[in-house]
Each structure stands twice: as C-alpha cells, then as structure tokens.
Structure 1
Amino acid sequence: MSFLKSTRTPLPPVFIGCGFAAKYPMGGGNFSVPLQYLLGLKRLGRRGIWLEVMPETDDPTLDASRARTFTRRMREYDLEYYLLIQPKAFQKKNPEEYHLSQMQSFGMDVSTLREEAKHGILLNLSYSIKAPLLTLFERRLLCSLDPTEVIFWMSRMEMGQSFHHEFWSVGLCMESIDSRIPKAIVPWKSFFPLVDTTFLQAQPKPLFKTRPRFTTIGQWYWDGAIEIEGTYVDFSKQAAFAPYLELPQKVPNAIFELAMNLNSDDPERKRLRQLGWNVVSPHRLMPTPKRYYDYLAGSLAEFTAVKLESKMQSGWLSDRAAAYLAQGRPVITEPTGAEQFLPKKSSESGLFFVQTLEEAIEASREVLLDWPHLSKSARATAIEYFDASRTLKKILN
C-alpha cells in the first residue's frame, strides 16, 4: 500500500507586531489587546508569533524586570514570541528606525526571525514595528487602533504608509470621517475590535455587597494634539465625561466607578468623589490580564464617554467594550458611527449609544431593570461581530 504525501503548502506564520505591552507591565488591559489576536490565531489553527519591541531605559533593573514579566506572560499563555530591546543610544540617533542587528533579543533567536519573516505575515498594531525591521516581512498589514489620530498624522509624517501592503482600522467609517480631518492618503479597510469569545466566556451576574456597579477604565488626561480648523481641542476623557458628571446622583441605586490613572494627590480625585463617582487605580486593581478580565466580570456593565472618535464619527469601538460584551456585560457608550453596523435595538445588541445625561440615565436604569436579557444580548453581539477568529480570517484572506 502506498501513501501519497500532501503537496499542500504550509500556511505562513502570522506575527503580531506590538510596541506597547512590555514597557507597560502594569496595564493588564493594555496587554490584552495583542493577546486577543494571538488567541484568535490559535483557534484558527494558524501559527501566531508575538513580536514585541521594547525601548531600553536608563534603568537596567527596570528593563530586566519588564522583560521578565513579559516572558513570564508568554509562558503563561503558551505563546511563541520575540522580544527585541531597542538600545537607548539608537533611540536618540534614529528613533524611527528599527535595526534588528542592533537589538537584544529574548525568546526565539534573531536568525530564526530573519528566516521566518521572509514568508511571514505581519499585523503591525499601531505602527509598532518600523523599517528596516518591518521590511523583512513578506506581507505587511498596518492595523490602526486609533483611526482619527492616524489619519491626521499620516498627512504630516510617516505613519507606516510607505511600508505596508494593506491598511486596516477599527474605524468602521474611515470613508466618511469628519471632513475637518485631512482626507485619508491610503485605502483603509475596516474591522471590529477583537475578542476571543472562547477564551472569554459569559460570566454570572456579580454579587454586590451594596449596589450594582458600572465601571470603565482609561486615561483621564490626553497627551495627544490634533488641530481642528486651527484650534487644538481637548479630547480627553476628562472633557468627554463633563456632560455626565451628575449621573451617579441621578441613578443613586448604582455605583459608577472610574478606574483612571490619577495621582493620589490629583484634585480631580476629590472633585469626582464629591460628585458621587468612585475613583480607583487600574494599576492596583488590574495589573495583569487575568485581574483585568476579573474586574470587567465583576461589573454589571460599562458606562463610558468617548474622548475623540465620537466627535469625528470614525466608527471606532474599543477593544475594552468587546471584552465587556464577551463576558455578558452590557455597554453604555457614545455613538461614533459604528452603531449603524450593529443591531439597532439596544435590547438586541446589549449596547446603548447615548449623547446626553438624560439618555445615560435612561440606559443605566434599563440595564438595572433588564440585566439578564441584556447580558445574553451582549454576549451574542460579541460572538457575531467581535469574535477574534472570525475577524482574523477576514483580514488574512
């Protein structure tokens, strides 16, 4: 009996390029973003490799600690990886150039990386991987997680437009984004933020000691600078939340909690607490991916305001919202244009898009009254629209 050998060509490895996880080990939610891509690739039966570039600092002890934390998480999730350290000297000399020969490597060896990149696919998150390292990969896809900012800065500087074959964005409305933003100079394709709906399962309703809790996580201040018609506008969470500051007082049978990076002596903490908001530290509560997912699962729902994309109508949705939905947590947020691609009724999607305090009050009360049904709808929406393997199949094909 003879056996015919398969002539099928193995699928090329998929590298997830990242430059924001290793340097920020206290950000469990931050680490979760590329993790969802790798988990989704596993479900597809594709070989995924995490490619991380971490800038060297003036503190060797800190750098070593960050590298250990990153490699430990790679083992925890059973991931193949390359961790490349960009030397401090070269950051100053050529900050926009990544030369593999100048980098220290952890994980798989550099010679293997060079060889596998020749036939590999790179999903470059937020233009994390730069040339000439970038050009080693046979197929290069830029994945933008910040639609408006990327379009704005591409009109002024190199943001990867010269080095990628395809351009993907979590902005679902890239063709109709606010006309005050420069016209896109590359052809964008859109995708929903990713969440592995097998890894993150629906969770039972939390048991609260006092009242149900609405939560969100983020940066209260914004260090960006986008000029709109000659004016630099404050697109911070601080500004975005201004219309909703009375919400805790209007819905007293719930707790509204902000997990924001605010210093202990920041006067904003006192101001927000006087208005009825809980203010907690994300670094303390969710320094790991698991603690991050536990925090989301311990919430009744998310309530948040959108700092930039709601004004520009880019169709942006957050990866955080996807993770809330996957665990059966409804999401109350602001419209960005993305709502047109989702079920129109909140009862069917588990998503509420609000623009005023009155709408936020109504949505919060509806979540409190009909949580079991909305939780099932949220989970169904995550599976239908945000599932990582489904989205990656679309991107890679």
Structure 2
Amino acid sequence: MKQTLPHLLQKNVDSVSRLRIVVLGYIVRGPLGGMAWHPLQYVMGLASLGHDVYFIEDSDDYPSCYDPVRGLTDTDPTYGLQFANSIFEQVGLGDRWAYYDAHTNSWLGSCADRIGEICATADLLLNINGVNPVRSWWEQIPERALIEGDSVFTQIRHITDPVARKQACQHTAFFSCSENIGLAQCSIPDDGFPWQPTRVPIVLDAWPVTPFVSDSQGKFTTVMQWESYPAREYNGISYGLKADSFASYINLPERVGSILELAVSGAKTPSNLLASKGWELREPPTQTPWTYQQYIQQSKAEFSVAKHAFVISNCGLFYDRSASYLASGRPVVVQETGFSDWLPTGEGVMAFRNLEEAIASIEEINSRYEFHCKAARAIAEEYFDARKTLSRLIECIMNSTAESRNHPSS
C-alpha cells in the first residue's frame, strides 16, 4: 500500500521557524510495522510543519539487529536497511535517513554522505525512547531532547544503572509521554531528571477515517507483546507488564461473546489458555507499517489492557497505537492509566478499571457504534494531531529556561 504523501511535505514556513532536526529512532534494528510507526510519525509530522528533518539510527555497540526472516538478532542490518529504505521512500522521505553501524564504523543510508554537515548545522536532536546512544558527533547539536514512552521502567533504569544515567545526562531536555509525570497523583519513581509531559503525534493525513462494515464478524482487537522484558521491583513495589494486567480480564469473552482478538507475540504467551477462554489469537500484522495499519482499519474497535506499571503508577500514558485507532475512526476500550485526568472519556474513548467496567464499555460501544466512531476521530484531531503536539514540543524545548536544562550530573 503506497503511502507517498507529497502534500504532507509542503513547507509551511510562514507558520513556523524552520529548524534542522535530527530524530534518533528505532526502525532498522526493529523492522516491524507497528514499532516503525512511532518514530516515523515524528519525522513525517516535523516535515509537514516545514522543518528540515532527518531520521538517524545507531546500531549501538551490541548485537541488536532483528531479522524476522532469519529469526535472528545479530549485527547484520541488511534486512532492516531494506525495510527502512522502502518505508521512507513510500512516505516521500527517501533521501532523509541514515544508519551508523558501530560494528563496521560505517555510515549507511540515503544521507550517509551528509552526516558531518547535518551534525554541524542541526538545531535540535530528538532521541525517541532513548534507544540510541548520543555519540560525540551529536553533542555539538545545541538542544538534545530525550523523549521517553516507557515510564517507570525508564526511571528505574536511570536510578539503578549508571551507564543508562550517564547516557541520559547527555541530553538538555527531558520529556515523557506519561502526562501525569511530576503531579501529585502520579507515583513514577523520581530519577532526578526534570521531566516534562508531551503527547504522541499522529499524522492525521496518513491515518484517514476508513469505513467499517458492521457485521457479526466485527472484532475488538489489539496488537501487543505478552512480555517484552522482565518486570522490575523498586522500593518494595513490583512493576509488571501487560501479562500481569491480563489475569483480571481473561474471562471477558465469556461475558461479551466471541468478539475479542489479540494479535499477540511473545514466547511466554499462554496461547492454549487464552484460546480456551474464548480469545481469538493471531500473529501480529507487523510485516510493514501498512499491514499494521490495515489491521487497525479492519477492526471494529480496540480492547486493550495496559502495562501493570502504568496502571499502578497512575502515569497518564495513552498509547500511540490506541491513538492510531482513534484517528482511523475506531473507538477504544482501554485500561485506565490515569489518562482520564487529561483526555475526555465516555465518547470514543472508554476507560475501565475492572472487569465490570470493561464489559459496560464494550456494550456501550456496540450500542452506539457510529456515534463513538465519530467521537474517536474528533478526539484524535483535538488531542493527537502531530501538527499540534510537535509544535508544542518544539516550542517547549526551544523556550526552555536554563533551570530546565540543569539536569543532574552523572
């Protein structure tokens, strides 16, 4: 499904100051459609605002390149390079990406021969989820923002891992997609960094509303990992993953019928148990960003639990995946993480805290489906439009005071 969107790249230089921006992200090493959308929407959204934007990825210094064809993770980026080249070509940004292979000390990708000039002239670096090391050549960029979307786990890592803390200290600004961070109702462990809230960007033109033909086969779906890494314990509190949240809802199909489907990955997924409880299971549709998008668009709505750590910390995080459902005109029924403190619920977005609320939310979506579809898109337009979220992010970074840049030393 070709996604070239030339109208996204029109330079709106009258409405913004044009900046040269480097986005550090994770696509080559994790060449899966759902994972690629998150950094891709930063790049596409910034380009649509008229900025001179480049996507750069670093291999890091350990074997980190996943190849889904070979089923291996090693140092060979061949598959991921082909994946990245294809998707950047399809969104009209084919000349704006590069990959540093630390294992061969070489630059690859379409703008590899311009890295020196890009580094020397960039105004801003956005390190998405902190999955790239800040090498010496990036330190000359005056503003370097760390944007995290895995709250609690990120902060515990900074507290307990000196190497991770040192890497974080190489940034000048700190943003979290958990919008309750720093507020009294939020219990994310304090790592000493001056986190500010930000919001996931959705490029609405790339996520158009698609019609849904209501029939008996319509499913509430989600795409998830059962366990992506081990749970963590800090100060006597155990912070778990989606697997730890799921137990309270495992009998949900018995109450609402055969309308729930999980596109789930993870070696520890209890597939037989889930199937016996009425959950329909399938492999995640992550071959490309477009297969992932098509899966969301053919769904009736989303039903999803949240990571246990997000729930008990009341962090306020709302997943970019769920925001993509909303943009497609698909309602979402999602476990409360405190996001209702800033996001309206009850129309298009249904938050639940227990099994009975989950059942009532699904019944409400089914009873007024078209109403909730329209509300879903309206919420995406108001709260997640990349033009709004990224403009606010850049304004906040560029207007940061000296105090906000006084992050802790290592």
Mark the runs of 5 or more structure 1 residues left unpaired by the alignment.
Answer: 1-8, 90-101
**TM superposition shift of 1:356:** 0.9
Paired letter, 2:196: K
Tell me, in whole angstroms, the C-alpha distance in 2 between the residues paired with 1:231 and 1:383. Answer: 37
Query: What are the residue-to-residue correspondences of 1:243-262 with 2, within 5 Å?
Result: 243-252=248-257, 254-262=258-266
Which of 75, 78, 84 is the equivalent residue of 2:92? 78
In structure 1, what is the equivalent of residue 7 of structure 2? none
Which of 47, 50, 53 is the equivalent residue of 1:48? 53
Tell me, in whole angstroms, the C-alpha distance in 1 between the residues paired with 2:81 and 2:47. Answer: 24
Mark the runs of 5 or more structure 2 residues left unpaired by the alignment.
Answer: 1-15, 66-71, 396-410
Would you say 1:31 and 2:54 are equivalent positions?
no
Between Structure 1 and Structure 2, how many residues are aligned?
A: 365
Q: Answer yes or no: is the 8 Å Cα contact 1:206–1:297 preserved in 2.
A: no
Paired letter, 1:331: V
Say which SS state the counterpart of residue 79 (structure 2) adopts.
Answer: helix
Q: Answer yes or no: is the 8 Å Cα contact 1:118–1:138 preserved in 2.
A: no
Would you say 1:125 and 2:131 are equivalent positions?
no
Q: Residues 293, 117 of structure 1: CA spacing in aligned structure 2 closer, same or farther, 3 A cutoff?
A: same
Overall identity of the aligned pairs, in %: 26
Q: Residues 299, 127 of structure 1: CA spacing in aligned structure 2 closer, same or farther, 3 A cutoff?
A: same
**TM superposition shift of 1:276:** 0.1
In structure 1, what is the equivalent of residue 318 of structure 2? 317
Post-superposition Cα deviations, 1:199-234, rounded to whole Å, max 9, x if no partner, equal 2111112454x432000111101413421333545x
Q: Answer yes or no: is the 8 Å Cα contact 1:259–1:279 preserved in 2.
A: yes
Q: Answer yes or no: is the 8 Å Cα contact 2:187–2:315 preserved in 1.
A: no
Moved over 6 A (4+): 58-61, 177-180
Say which SS state the counterpart of residue 286 (structure 1) adopts.
Answer: coil
Would you say 1:192 and 2:199 are equivalent positions?
yes
Query: What are the residue-to-residue correspondences of 1:269-288 with 2, within 5 Å?
Result: 269-282=271-284, 285-288=285-288
Q: Answer yes or no: is the 8 Å Cα contact 2:300–2:330 preserved in 1.
A: yes
> Normalized against structure 1, the TM-score is what?
0.85
In structure 2, what is the equivalent of residue 148 of structure 1? 152
Tell me, in whole angstroms, the C-alpha distance in 1 between the residues paired with 2:352 and 2:287. Answer: 30
Query: What are the residue-to-residue correspondences of 1:226-305 with 2, within 5 Å?
Result: 226-230=232-236, 232-233=238-239, 235-252=240-257, 254-263=258-267, 268-282=270-284, 285-305=285-305
Say which SS state the counterpart of residue 174 (structure 1) adopts.
Answer: coil
Tell me, in whole angstroms, the C-alpha distance in 2 between the residues paired with 1:366 and 1:144. Answer: 33
Paired letter, 1:273: A
Would you say 1:368 and 2:366 are equivalent positions?
yes
Q: Answer yes or no: is the 8 Å Cα contact 1:119–1:138 preserved in 2.
A: no
In structure 2, what is the equivalent of residue 396 of structure 1? 394
RMSD over aligned CA atoms reads 2.4
In structure 1, what is the equivalent of residue 77 of structure 2? 63
Would you say 1:108 and 2:111 are equivalent positions?
yes
In structure 2, what is the equivalent of residue 183 of structure 1? 190
Tell me, in whole angstroms, the C-alpha distance in 1 between the residues paired with 2:218 and 2:277. Answer: 18
> Normalized against structure 2, the TM-score is what?
0.83
**TM superposition shift of 1:62:** 5.2
Tell me, in whole angstroms, the C-alpha distance in 2 between the residues paired with 1:251 and 1:200. Answer: 29
Tell me, in whole angstroms, the C-alpha distance in 2 between the residues paired with 1:147 and 1:242. Answer: 22
